[in-house]
């Protein structure tokens, strides 16, 4: 096991990502990390005053590095990654950030435990989760936890493969959110679209249960 971990540390990030996809293609949505162009498009949707950010599905750290390059201090970053090997990669790459191996559905508790609760909630959440393939109840559970971890005017910035909105209309309506398609890039494998979600009014809105 130690030899396997040492070998993983020596691999380029793209190979680390690809190997994790081979192990569990349903959990790792793509066969390669996100492109730099997609990262730039995601960063362009951050609020101008954003300084505290949560990232869901950190992967190999393409967006994490882009956030730091954008001016977000590592100490103001909380990164969640469910895959243990990718989590360890992120810990090594970004020692100054809070990098947690955890489920996005538990974001409320994780955020509170790492100083992202109350008045210290995030200005934005960057997400690479495969929401499109999730059932509606899971989408709503994750988004509800996410918006509880955002300031009232915070943004949830999500990329998805293809042009379709990855969040079901019923979930958007139930949670009182607005959604708009921000950009699309062919220079990603696969091609990707960026969507931005916000509360329709600048206050926390309780999510209505779906039936």
- How do residues 134-155 score in pLDDT, each as one tens digit? 999 999 999 999 999 999 999 9
pLDDT tens digits, 64-108: 999 999 999 999 999 999 999 999 999 999 999 999 999 999 999
- The DSSP annotation for 10-67 comes to HS-HHHHHHHHHHH-TTTS--SSPPPHHHHHHHHTTS-TT---EEEE--TTSHHHHHH
Edge-to-edge strand list for the sheet holding 77-80:
98-100, 77-80, 53-56, 122-127, 150-161, 192-199, 177-185
Which of the two residues, 163 and 59, has the higher pLDDT score? 59
Most confident residue range from 3-7, 177-181, 185-189? 177-181
Whole-number Å distance between alpha carbons of 206 and 209: 9
* The predicted structure's pLDDT at residue 23: 46
* The predicted structure's pLDDT at residue 28: 43
* The predicted structure's pLDDT at residue 183: 81
Weakest mean pLDDT among 116-125, 129-138, 178-187:
178-187
Pick the CATH number of 33-199 from 3.40.50.150, 3.10.20.90, 3.30.390.30, 3.90.550.60: 3.40.50.150
- Sorting pLDDT into bands at 50, 70 and 90, what band is 110? very high
Q: What are the domain boundaries of the chain?
A: 33-199
pLDDT tens digits, 26-38: 444 443 445 788 8
């Amino acid at each position: 096991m130690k030899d396997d971990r040492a070998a993983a540390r020596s691999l380029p990030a793209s190979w680390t990502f690809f190997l994790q996809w081979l192990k569990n293609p349903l959990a790792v949505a793509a066969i390669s990390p996100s492109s730099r162009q997609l990262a730039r498009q995601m960063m362009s949707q951050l609020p101008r005053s954003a300084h505290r950010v949560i990232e869901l599905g950190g992967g190999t750290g393409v967006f994490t590095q882009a956030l730091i390059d954008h001016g977000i201090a590592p100490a103001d970053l909380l990164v969640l990654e469910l895959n243990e090997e990718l989590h360890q990669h992120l810990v090594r790459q970004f020692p100054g950030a809070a990098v947690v191996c955890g489920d996005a559905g538990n974001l409320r508790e994780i955020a509170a435990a790492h100083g992202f609760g109350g008045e210290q909630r995030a200005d934005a959440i960057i997400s690479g989760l495969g929401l499109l393939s999730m059932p509606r109840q899971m989408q709503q559970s994750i988004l509800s936890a996410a918006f509880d971890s955002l300031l009232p005017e915070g943004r949830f910035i999500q990329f998805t493969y293809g042009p379709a909105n990855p969040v079901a209309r019923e979930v958007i309506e139930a949670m009182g959110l607005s959604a708009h398609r921000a950009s699309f890039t062919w220079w990603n494998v696969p091609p990707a679209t960026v969507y931005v979600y916000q509360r329709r009014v600048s206050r926390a809105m309780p999510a209505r249960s779906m039936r």
